[in-house]
Amino acid sequence: EVQLLESGGGLVQRGGSLRLSCAASGFTFSNYGMSWVRQAPGKGLEWVSGLSGSADSTYYADSVKGRFTISRDNSKNTLYLQMSSLRAEDTAVYYCAKDFAWGYYTDYWGQGTLVTVSS
């Protein structure tokens, strides 16, 4: 059974930094692309970033480019999102998601972790 467990969310001041983690199990982690998707309170889904299984290809939404960095440790089956220069509009639930294959749709999602940026 695929399981994705996010952690690291919390309250942070505007301009601050935070690192999210996603512990994966139930599949061969290094074989799959992974994504972060966020959802602001009461709003829709926004794709944030994606990373290939071998970590040699990354993509970012324009809204986070230059401020967020996605990475992974395949030896620990863990995905990360390093967030810096945080803004009030980054307040959201952040979901970790497994891609069916690199560059394809997301087929499994974690339960999310809430990041709140205070001004």
Partner 1 sequence: EMVMTQSPATLSVSPGERATLSCRASQSVSRNLAWFQQKPGQAPRLLIYGASTGATDIPARFSGSGSGTEFTLTISSLQSEDFAVYYCQQYNNWPITFGQGTRLEIK
Q: What residue ranges bind partner 1 (CB under 8 A)?
A: 35, 37, 44-47, 50, 59-62, 95, 100, 103-112
Distance CA 82, CA 80 (A): 6
Measured from the CB atom, the residue of 46 and 84 that comes closer to partner 1 is: 46
Measured from the CB atom, the residue of 91 and 106 that comes closer to partner 1 is: 106
- E strands, the chain, are 3-7, 10-13, 18-25, 34-39, 45-51, 58-60, 68-73, 78-83, 92-99, 106-109, 113-118
Measured from the CB atom, the residue of 85 and 100 that comes closer to partner 1 is: 100
Q: Shortest distance, CB of residue 5 to partner 1, whole angstroms?
A: 12
